[in-house]
Amino acid sequence: MSNLYDISVKTASFLNRELSEYKGKILLIVNTASRCGFTPQYNELEDLYRKYKSEGFEILAFPCNQFMNQEPGTNKEIQEFCSVNFNITFPIFDKIDVKGDNIHPLYSFLTSAKPGIFGSKRIKWNFTKFLVDREGNVVKRYAPITKPSKIEKDIVRMIRDN
């Protein structure tokens, strides 16, 4: 894939969604897990979403169970967990692979566009974050330890630059 907007994903209820629907939006794309030490980041993600959604900012969460079985639930269980524990209102999609032989095309695109430290394309853990501009360009990659609140300045800069 040479273009983010050519990629299709599945919602938690297994409906196809074209990423072209997000053209013109600033995106923060995150691989998530419900039983991870970084799971409390959902709070800050939701805060950012509520604060900037009206300015064209979207968060797209993709559950993944590839890191120590930290997302074993069904899509329905994941949705309920996020709703009950974090009052999440941004979209949480179908569970996917973010590395390996069955890597989803979205993560193949993201990791090729913005490799990690030392050029590594591999996702190393849950809550790796990618910031995408309104034209679909991956502008920054953040480590799992980077709290969403630390990304806010980059989001604000992108909103103001538009």
Q: Which residues are catalytic?
A: 36
The answer for residues whose C-beta is within 8 angstroms of residue 73's C-beta and 6 or more apart is 34, 81
Spatial separation of the C-alpha atoms in residues 158 and 162, rounded to whole Å = 7
Contact 45, 150 (CB under 8 A): no
Tally Cβ neighbours within 10 Å of residue 95: 22
- DSSP string for 91-125: -BB-----SSTT--HHHHHHHHHS--GGG--S--S
Determine the residue type at 57: F
Strand partners, 57: 26
